[in-house]
Amino acid sequence: MDHEATRRDALDRIAAAQDLEAVEALRVAFLGKQGSISALLKTLGGMSPEQRQSEGPKIHGLREAVTDALAARKAALESAALEARLAAETVDLTLPAAEAPRGSIHPVSQVMDELAEIFADLGFAVATGPEIEDDWHNFTALNMPESHPARAMHDTFYLPDRTDDGRELVLRTHTSPVQIRAMLSQGAPLRIIAPGRVYRSDSDSTHTPMFHQVEGLVIDKGIHLGHLKWTLETFLKAFFERDDIVLRLRPSYFPFTEPSVEVDTGYAWVDGRRVIGGSGDAPGHAWMELLGSGMVNRHVLAAGGLDPDEWQGFAFGVGVDRLAMLKYGMNDLRAFFDGDVRWLRHYGFSALDVPTLSAGVGTPA
């Protein structure tokens, strides 16, 4: 075989190599110690100078061409292997998870999210306060001085410690102390809701020692009971997702509001469930007490650092657990805090089911 034929044959075989082992086998066959091209190179030693001058460049050129072809084929096979591996190992991150999500949102959290969403739309911010509260914020500033009988009504949990300035410490008995904290820290005007845990020494099927309230507070100029009623109606229509919410306002008493208003809502029994809606005076309907509210007492405004001749406001407090029970049809409050995963699986909400006004706040999971 002349060099040109050897070269064509070698390059054809290299181009036909299907894997890296085949390339390596060809390298050994051509360029290894016993290789055919290595053997050709050895023949140069036995040649005359003239012969070597004409044969040398051809044989070296042949070796170079084969070396380059082997390297190119090797690189091509390697990159093809990488491509194939990348294609095979592709992960489609848009596919749904193979396993169903495990956790769920507790109905109390869900309802709190719904409340925040509804009230945000009305321009309310969310405020918070400590669960371990001092008796000034929990009682005194809310127009319940030490001797006030309403203090006894709250079945308060007292802590053994006191604050540095000698105030008694309690587990807050309601979210109303956040009214005081918000007024003192933000001043007026003010529009807040304050959802959170509250504590009273009380326990039966409708009372637990810890439960949840949401406080509402609006402070501005010229605020009156009409604003309160409109706000509550708008909130309850959005929350229960029905337009036929009918409220009945009854005179009541809270030390921190004057006048104080107990708010009832009409409901009917449907399939053994209370369903909110309609007038309580309509056939088959009745009234149910839902929340406490009223115009913020002058003493409370003053304790919050505001001039009661300049500012007025209304406030309300609702049980969040109770709202959840009414909306989602649970009947035993204690189950809320048992931590039973079967109950949660039944009543819990998907973590992805974020309440929004546009999608409907809190469609059952």
Q: Can you tell me which of 127, 315, 330, 333 binds ligand PHE, judged by CB under 6 A? A: 315
301 is a site residue for ligand PHE (CB under 6 A): no
218 is a site residue for ligand PHE (CB under 6 A): no
From the CB of 319, what's the least distance to ligand PHE, in Å?
8
Give first-to-last CA distance, the chain, whole Å. Answer: 82
From the CB of 169, what's the least distance to ligand PHE, in Å?
19
Distance between CA 317 and CA 81 in Å, rounded? 68
Q: Near ligand PHE by CB under 6 A, which window of 24-32, 94-102, 314-322, 349-357?
A: 314-322
Q: What tokens appear for 23 in the block?
A: 């390339």
* DSSP codes, 212-249: EEEEEEEEETT--HHHHHHHHHHHHHHHHT-S-B-EEE
Side-chain-facing half-sphere of 110: CA atoms under 13 Å = 27
Q: Near ligand PHE by CB under 6 A, which window of 8-16, 189-197, 202-210, 309-317?
A: 309-317
Q: How many residues bind ligand PHE (CB under 6 A)?
A: 11
Q: Which residues contact 180 (CB under 8 A, 6 or more apart)?
A: 137, 141, 142, 300, 303, 304
Q: Which 8-state DSSP code applies to residue 349?
A: B
**Residues in contact with ligand PHE, shown as a per-residue x/- string from 43 to 82 under the rule CB under 6 A:** ----------------------------------------
Q: Where are the beta strands (DSSP E) in 66-183?
A: 125-126, 132-134, 158-162, 168-171
Q: Can you tell me which of 30, 199, 235, 254 binds ligand PHE, judged by CB under 6 A? A: 254
Residue nearest to ligand PHE (CB): 317
292 is a site residue for ligand PHE (CB under 6 A): yes
Q: What tokens appear for 45 in the block?
A: 């030693």
294 is a site residue for ligand PHE (CB under 6 A): yes
Q: Can you tell me which of 140, 156, 231, 293 binds ligand PHE, judged by CB under 6 A? A: 293
Q: Near ligand PHE by CB under 6 A, which window of 83-91, 188-196, 289-297, 303-311?
A: 289-297
Tell how far CA 44 is from the center of its chain.
80
Q: Can you tell me which of 199, 211, 235, 316 binds ligand PHE, judged by CB under 6 A? A: 316
Q: Near ligand PHE by CB under 6 A, which window of 38-46, 59-67, 268-276, 286-294?
A: 286-294
Q: Which residues contact 255 (CB under 8 A, 6 or more apart)?
A: 142, 143, 144, 148, 150, 297
From the CB of 130, what's the least distance to ligand PHE, in Å?
16
Tell me which residue of 294, 130, 297, 314 sits closest to 217, measured CA to CA.
314
Footprint on residues 124-183 left by ligand PHE (CB under 6 A) = 174, 176
From the CB of 244, what's the least distance to ligand PHE, in Å?
25
6 is a site residue for ligand PHE (CB under 6 A): no
CB 160 within 8 A of CB 128: no
Q: Can you tell me which of 196, 317, 348, 355 binds ligand PHE, judged by CB under 6 A? A: 317
CB 230 within 8 A of CB 237: no
CB 301 within 8 A of CB 311: yes
257 is a site residue for ligand PHE (CB under 6 A): yes
From the CB of 340, what's the least distance to ligand PHE, in Å?
27
Q: Which residues contact 224 (CB under 8 A, 6 or more apart)?
A: 295, 312
Tokens 């956790």 — which residue?
Answer: 103
Q: 254 or 267, CB closer to ligand PHE?
A: 254
Distance between CA 324 and CA 29 in Å, rounded? 82
104 is a site residue for ligand PHE (CB under 6 A): no
Q: Near ligand PHE by CB under 6 A, which window of 38-46, 238-246, 290-298, 345-353?
A: 290-298
From the CB of 249, what's the least distance to ligand PHE, in Å?
12
Question: Which parts of this chain interact with ligand PHE (CB under 6 A)?
Answer: 174, 176, 215, 254, 257, 292-294, 315-317
